[in-house]
Chain A
Amino acid sequence: MRLRFTFWLLTSITLSFHTNGNEASSPLYIGIDADFSAVAVDGGIAIKQGVELAVDEINKNGGLLGRELAIVSKDHRGNPARGIHNIKQFAANKDVIAVIAGVHTPVALAELEIIHELNLLFLVPWAAGTQVVDNQYKPNNVFRVSVRDAEAGKVLIQHAASRGFKSVALVLERTGWGRSNELSLTQAASEMGITITTIRWVNWQQKVFEEDISAIKSDKAEAIILVSNAPEGAVVINELAAQNLTKLPVISHWGIASGNFIERLNVEPHSLDLSVLQTFHFDHQKHVQAQQLLETYHEKYGLIDPNAIPAVTGIAHAYDLVNMLAVAIVKAGTTDVDALRNTLEDLGTFEGVLKTYQPAFTPTQHDALMAKDYFMSSFDNKGNLVVLDTD
């Protein structure tokens, strides 16, 4: 019921800016198209919080081009069709300067066509699929501050190699994101000389994974590389526990960190050998910008243990992206998409919370983060992510 109420509320917000959009003093909008209610809620909320923190800061400093900055968010629930529907609605409002994408690669991939058709700026703080950025569109309206699967594959395989594993099993979700990782992981594995014993596909909302785990067990894989969202990730881990394989190392892409993973587990997280790819952690990024972000976060959302902030990478990525956009708008002096795209490609050095980008984007590279920016983390006994000391 609450969920449906949220839909109606969002629709009514959309309607309200339709009617008021033409007024001169009306605000500029940043659209957020993410999953707020289905499978990656933590990720969606984190992205929204990152955007909100950045927007608050920008508005405090006088807004952009003399106009207030406002946020309109829409819930795509992880459903690509719904995402496309949302993009069309955003495009109907000429004051929407950019759309921030959500967690799900399949949704982002499905939206590319309409994004470019309607010429919207598409800023990606999470969806990691290589094809999201490396698309066939020219000019390319997609800018990403997040993991890039092609790079992530390398990092995951390197992590496996550094721990001395010779053979791994892949568990991938049966979507564009899973397939994007299949490509990068197999390539990285063959480069590093690691054998992939088997590739197991998991459907969204799949509840049973018994046969697949048995197969992985019988193939004698030394570790599992997991690419899935939280619900399916939990199904996989629970089945491992059911077959007494909690000691089998699991090296996970960061999908499981996007929402309610720990609550779905039947086992104590610290009893697992589970490492998770991350880009940002308050224990990893300890510079001034990160400290300030933490302070404003605490002011706005209350005092929470920094380790316990859910999907913290989403906050950092979105925060950096919106701030980059603001710099670009100020520099370009317009909200015209073509002008902004060019400015973003030529932004120069930018001091973000995640790192100092030198620069973030170039005309040929719309991915701001690369393998060297990733690190591995793990869950502590409270279910919080902690930075893993790798040597």
Chain B
Amino acid sequence: MSFQPPPLRKRLLTSMLPRLFGLILVIVIMLFAFTFFFAKQQIDAVQKQSIEGLKQDLSFIINDTTRQLSDLASNDIIINSLVDLEQRDNYLPMFFRSLKLTQTRNVEFALYDFSGEMVIQKNWSSSISEKLDTAWQRKTLGASFSFSSITQNGVLFSVPVLLGGAAEGALVMYVESLQALLAPFPRLTTQIVTEQNGRVLFSSDPEFIPPGSQFSDADTMGYMTLDSRHQNLTLYSLNPVSTALKGLYWLALLMLAIILGIILVNLHIIRTTAVLAENTLSGLYKDIAHRIKSTDTEEPVVVEEARELANIRSAFDTLISDLAEMSLSNEQFSDVIDSMGDMLLVVDENHRVMLSNKRFDAFCEDQYGEREGTVKYILNKLVNKSAGELKHFSVGDGLEKQIKWTNTPLEDANHNVKGAIFVGVDVSSQRSLESHVQILSHAMDEATVSIIIADIKRSGQPIIYVNNAFSRLTGHNKEDIIGKNCRLMQGDDTDSTTTMQIRRAISNREPIETTLLNYRKDGSSFYNRLILTPVKSNGEVTHYIGFQQDVTQQRQAKRYLQEAKQKAEESAHMKSGFLASMSHEIRTPIHGISGVLQLLSNSPLNDEQKHYLSLATFSIQGLLHIVNDILDFSKIEAGQLQIDHQPFDLLETLESLQSQYAILCQEKGLNLYFHFNLQGFHVVIGDSVRFRQILSNLIGNAVKFTEKGEIDVTTTLEHTSGNNLRLTCAVKDSGIGIAKEKQMGIFDVFTQEDLSTTRKFGGTGLGLSISKQLCELMNGEIHLDSEKGQGSTFTFNIMLKEGDDSLIAPQQNRVANSKPSTQKRKILIVEDNDINQVIVKQHLSNHKTLSAKSGVEALEALSKMKVTFDVILMDCQMPDMDGFEATRRIRRGEVGERYTNAPIIALTANAMKGDREACFNAGMNDYLSKPFNVQDLLEKVEYWAEKGTETNVHLS
């Protein structure tokens, strides 16, 4: 304690004052510098702005006046007056009198002709200097440019009056002085415009600097000036220094006052702070010293080397040594009770807490921190009880806690009760587990599925549990069945293999699901759907749980269904067979009629007969169409329609369709347009016949339902994946359209838009349905977009595969090859139907023909006749021996070598899919479906006869 540090107040004052003054000095200097700099900037900006304004005013006057004059000069009255010398005096003076370009008075106007002669003037009194006169004339009359001049001689503008691009005259405006033109504008500063020689042309303050006087810099003492050149003029902005800097003086004074104020305030604050700090610390010291004496503990604090603080530190040192001697026994005891797993609470007789462990404290904390309330609650509930369970709401997890409390009296050595000891155990999880088990058991009891549990470890594998549903199902009470084996429910008719399976599964500890016949308590039987699942306990299967269900009714339903399906299949099969024969039976007579009609058409007829014949032909075609539709539809229904996958030329198909319908459209006066985007694929693989069928159906409908306008058929191919192609085809017409509400069912069977449509347009109503089914068979779809009266668009797509030209066999271009049959061919007609035979014979009347009525007759004829037939026409369905068998035999050589390669053309009424293949498989060369076209028959016969001859020649 030999060294005494200086008091805090002195230290503070000596360190802070010099710094404060230095800082204030720097700030003052910077403030002054900035203020001056910005003030200067502002004054300069004002000056610049003023000069710019003046410049703009001048430019505006020049440009605007020139523009207005130019507008005037292009007025046709002015131009005409230069040409119309005789009569211009009638209108020009009036026009000129009305001229007024600016607000300024004493503006002089004049119109000059090309030679500089004045034509007319207004207010023209001045004598313009010769120099100026020459200048504007040279520029405006000589060079056809506009001209302006601002000098002490006045302000002059001239613009050319143009005719054919060159000046034929000039319009001139003159004002005596610039002062008159510029005066009306308000000014930021005093502004002067002088000529280069210093003569003032304009002054915004004529009293200060009068216009016309000589201006020199000497006049501007006490003014800030800025000057700028503008053409031949010098522009000045004058601003008195006193005005400019007035603001600045003001600011400087204000700042000085503020700075002085700041210094004074600072000095005062520093002094007050120092005194206050000193007093505070001294007080603190005294306070601590006092508290140490009265036993409470405090943490020692180490601070800077002020005397007061040093004192504090030494006081705290003493305190620490005192604390170190505090007792250890207290700690050990509390460690023991705090380590207890249960809660401990000790109260005295007056219910004051004597002791509690950490766990209890934590518990109280969890009870809203309500220690007293919690204690009170426990004491109230357990008064005179040695134990009890209490529910406590836990704040921490939001659950109710179940605590089991025991109440033990606290006795001293003399067994005097001094208070009570409460020990609490948390039994919440135990209770919740119990309740969980209860729920599960209850759920099983009440389940609607019959549940049964058997113990398989005990001998006899007795049932240990059944639920209520089991009792309802079997009629057995719980009491009756528990302890017994499940076999109790089996009876005489129970399938023994099923019971064996169950036993095997159980012995293998596997789950099993089966159905078996069981018996109720009253002896009635039922089919029991049984699911047995092993239940594991500690890795070992100890029990089996079974779920049972009465499936007697389901079994019956299944049997009925199977029977129904069988019947349906049989009937479909019958239908298909019926249709096949229908097809044949109907087509044969149609063929007959068709053939006779064709024959008839070749005979001489009068016009009326021809007309009747065409009606009959038309009807038979319609009938055929209907039969084909019904047939197709039935095939689709019977699932017998198969889609071909043969290469075909798409473009050719489309072109042939176009030419087919072009005539029809032309007759009706419709336009038919085909658009393609085939992406370069000509040849595709798919069913050309069915594609053609869909498209002709749509186009046919379009033609049918369209009275005028056009039909657009748009076909696009797009690549989807691999070598798959999607063909999209849209047929758009401008016909009657289909109402929205009818569109839904348009693809249904026998649906046309309404019954009146059927009456008007006819048709089977199957076409669209067939088209839809065909599209779906080709992995596509069809849809309609239409509005009543607005036409319809049918769009369908089908899936095809890529193909190429090489896939298509070279075409037998029959038309090109067919020569008029000059040669008589020898033809064998094998046909059982008399009418058909007559027709074919008649068609082939140019050739030699022989008929056979069956395959047997045909073989006979072929083997016995000496002549060699060029072509054999073979009906397929015949009594005794059909066409296929006969062909096979011919090919086998039963009628001689000469016929093994002879051309055989099938004639068949069978339009069912597969007939064509059957014909080729039997060894026939070609195929004609009845009713056929005469032309087709003749061409095919000619083609094959020719081919047969070639082969023979070749062979020989």
Residues of chain A having any CB pair with chain B under 8 Å: 3-4, 37-39, 77-82, 85, 104, 106, 109-110, 174-176, 179, 203-207
Residues of B71-100 contacting chain A, CB below 8 A: 74, 76-77, 79-80, 82-87
Q: Is the interface of B mostly helix, strand, loop or mixed?
A: loop
Known contacts: A77-B168, A79-B168, A85-B115. The answer to whether A39 contacts B82 by CB under 8 A is: no
User: Which residues on A sit within 8 Å (CB–CB) of B166?
Assistant: 3-4, 37-38, 77
A-B residue pair count with CB separations less than 8 angstroms: 77
User: Which residues on A sit within 8 Å (CB–CB) of B76?
Assistant: 203-207
Is residue B113 within 8 Å, beta carbon to beta carbon, of the partner chain? yes
Given contacts A77-B163, A82-B168, A206-B76, 16 further A-B contacts (CB under 8 A): A3-B165, A37-B164, A38-B166, A78-B83, A79-B114, A80-B85, A106-B86, A176-B84, A203-B76, A203-B77, A203-B79, A203-B80, A204-B83, A204-B163, A205-B79, A205-B80
User: Which residues on B sit within 8 Å (CB–CB) of A79?
Assistant: 82-83, 113-114, 163, 168
Could you list some 24 contacts between A and B, CB below 8 A? Answer: A3-B164, A3-B166, A4-B166, A37-B164, A37-B166, A38-B166, A39-B163, A39-B164, A79-B163, A80-B83, A80-B85, A81-B85, A82-B114, A82-B115, A82-B168, A85-B114, A106-B83, A175-B80, A175-B83, A176-B86, A203-B77, A203-B79, A203-B80, A207-B76
> Given the complex of chains A and B, what is the CA–CA distance between A81 and B86 in angstroms?
11
Shortest beta-carbon distance from B157 to chain A in Å: 22
User: Which residues on A sit within 8 Å (CB–CB) of B77?
Assistant: 203
Residues of B48-89 contacting chain A, CB below 8 A: 74, 76-77, 79-80, 82-87
Is residue B39 within 8 Å, beta carbon to beta carbon, of the partner chain? no
Which of B79, B85, B114 meets A204, CB within 8 Å?
Answer: B79
The list of the 8 closest CB pairs from A to B, nearest first, reads A38-B164, A203-B76, A203-B80, A206-B76, A205-B79, A204-B80, A80-B85, A81-B113
- Residue of A4, A37, A82, A205 ringed by the most chain B CB atoms within 10 A: A205
Is residue B143 within 8 Å, beta carbon to beta carbon, of the partner chain? yes
> Given the complex of chains A and B, what is the CA–CA distance between A37 and B168 in angstroms?
12
User: Which residues on A sit within 8 Å (CB–CB) of B114?
Assistant: 79, 81-82, 85
Is residue B219 within 8 Å, beta carbon to beta carbon, of the partner chain? no
User: Which residues on B sit within 8 Å (CB–CB) of A38?
Assistant: 163-164, 166, 168
Known contacts: A77-B163, A205-B79. The answer to whether A109 contacts B168 by CB under 8 A is: no
Shortest beta-carbon distance from B138 to chain A in Å: 13
Known contacts: A77-B168, A81-B114, A85-B115. The answer to whether A205 contacts B163 by CB under 8 A is: yes
Is residue B492 within 8 Å, beta carbon to beta carbon, of the partner chain? no
Residue of A nearest to B164 (CB): A38
Residues of B346-401 contacting chain A, CB below 8 A: none
Is residue B117 within 8 Å, beta carbon to beta carbon, of the partner chain? yes
Shortest beta-carbon distance from B126 to chain A in Å: 24
Residue of B nearest to A3 (CB): B166
User: Which residues on B sit within 8 Å (CB–CB) of A207?
Assistant: 76
> Given the complex of chains A and B, what is the CA–CA distance between A110 and B84 in angstroms?
9
Shortest beta-carbon distance from A130 to chain B in Å: 14
Shortest beta-carbon distance from A6 to chain B in Å: 10
> Given the complex of chains A and B, what is the CA–CA distance between A106 and B143 in angstroms?
26
User: Which residues on A sit within 8 Å (CB–CB) of B79?
Assistant: 203-205
> Given the complex of chains A and B, what is the CA–CA distance between A235 and B85 in angstroms?
23
Residues of B114-140 contacting chain A, CB below 8 A: 114-115, 117
> Given the complex of chains A and B, what is the CA–CA distance between A38 and B165 in angstroms?
8
User: Which residues on A sit within 8 Å (CB–CB) of B165?
Assistant: 3
Residues of chain B having any CB pair with chain A under 8 Å: 74, 76-77, 79-80, 82-87, 113-115, 117, 143-144, 163-166, 168
> Given the complex of chains A and B, what is the CA–CA distance between A207 and B114 in angstroms?
22
> Given the complex of chains A and B, what is the CA–CA distance between A233 and B85 in angstroms?
21
- Residue of A81, A106, A109, A175 ringed by the most chain B CB atoms within 10 A: A81
User: Which residues on A sit within 8 Å (CB–CB) of B82?
Assistant: 79, 81
Residue of A nearest to B79 (CB): A205
Asked whether, in the complex, the Cβ of A174 is within 8 Å of the Cβ of B84, the reply is: yes
User: Which residues on A sit within 8 Å (CB–CB) of B83?
Assistant: 78-80, 104, 106, 175, 204
Residue of A nearest to B168 (CB): A79
User: Which residues on B sit within 8 Å (CB–CB) of A203?
Assistant: 76-77, 79-80
- Residue of B76, B77, B114, B115 ringed by the most chain A CB atoms within 10 A: B76
Known contacts: A203-B76, A205-B80. The answer to whether A179 contacts B87 by CB under 8 A is: yes
> Given the complex of chains A and B, what is the CA–CA distance between A104 and B143 in angstroms?
25
User: Which residues on A sit within 8 Å (CB–CB) of B113?
Assistant: 79, 81
User: Which residues on B sit within 8 Å (CB–CB) of A110?
Assistant: 85-86
- Residue of A38, A78, A79 ringed by the most chain B CB atoms within 10 A: A79
- Residue of A78, A104, A174 ringed by the most chain B CB atoms within 10 A: A174
User: Which residues on A sit within 8 Å (CB–CB) of B85?
Assistant: 80-81, 106, 110
Asked whether, in the complex, the Cβ of B80 is within 8 Å of the Cβ of A174, the reply is: yes
> Given the complex of chains A and B, what is the CA–CA distance between A3 and B85 in angstroms?
24
Asked whether, in the complex, the Cβ of B117 is within 8 Å of the Cβ of A81, the reply is: yes
> Given the complex of chains A and B, what is the CA–CA distance between A94 and B99 in angstroms?
46
- Residue of B74, B80, B114, B168 ringed by the most chain A CB atoms within 10 A: B80
Which of B74, B84, B115, B164 meets A106, CB within 8 Å?
Answer: B84
> Given the complex of chains A and B, what is the CA–CA distance between A205 and B76 in angstroms?
6
Asked whether, in the complex, the Cβ of B164 is within 8 Å of the Cβ of A77, the reply is: yes
Residue of A nearest to B80 (CB): A203
> Given the complex of chains A and B, what is the CA–CA distance between A85 and B144 in angstroms?
19
Shortest beta-carbon distance from A227 to chain B in Å: 14
User: Which residues on A sit within 8 Å (CB–CB) of B74?
Assistant: 205
User: Which residues on B sit within 8 Å (CB–CB) of A80?
Assistant: 83, 85
> Given the complex of chains A and B, what is the CA–CA distance between A179 and B87 in angstroms?
10
> Given the complex of chains A and B, what is the CA–CA distance between A78 and B84 in angstroms?
10
Asked whether, in the complex, the Cβ of B163 is within 8 Å of the Cβ of A109, the reply is: no
User: Which residues on B sit within 8 Å (CB–CB) of A175?
Assistant: 80, 83-84, 86
Shortest beta-carbon distance from B368 to chain A in Å: 96
> Given the complex of chains A and B, what is the CA–CA distance between A205 and B83 in angstroms?
11
> Given the complex of chains A and B, what is the CA–CA distance between A356 and B164 in angstroms?
38
User: Which residues on A sit within 8 Å (CB–CB) of B84?
Assistant: 106, 174-176, 204
Shortest beta-carbon distance from B96 to chain A in Å: 16
Shortest beta-carbon distance from A132 to chain B in Å: 13
> Given the complex of chains A and B, what is the CA–CA distance between A79 and B115 in angstroms?
11
User: Which residues on B sit within 8 Å (CB–CB) of A204?
Assistant: 76, 79-80, 83-84, 163
- Residue of B76, B77, B164 ringed by the most chain A CB atoms within 10 A: B164
Shortest beta-carbon distance from A380 to chain B in Å: 27
User: Which residues on B sit within 8 Å (CB–CB) of A39?
Assistant: 163-164
Shortest beta-carbon distance from B694 to chain A in Å: 54
User: Which residues on A sit within 8 Å (CB–CB) of B144?
Assistant: 4
User: Which residues on B sit within 8 Å (CB–CB) of A106?
Assistant: 83-86
> Given the complex of chains A and B, what is the CA–CA distance between A109 and B115 in angstroms?
19
> Given the complex of chains A and B, what is the CA–CA distance between A203 and B76 in angstroms?
6
Shortest beta-carbon distance from B171 to chain A in Å: 15
User: Which residues on A sit within 8 Å (CB–CB) of B86?
Assistant: 106, 109-110, 175-176
- Residue of B74, B84, B143, B165 ringed by the most chain A CB atoms within 10 A: B84
Shortest beta-carbon distance from B199 to chain A in Å: 36
> Given the complex of chains A and B, what is the CA–CA distance between A37 and B164 in angstroms?
7
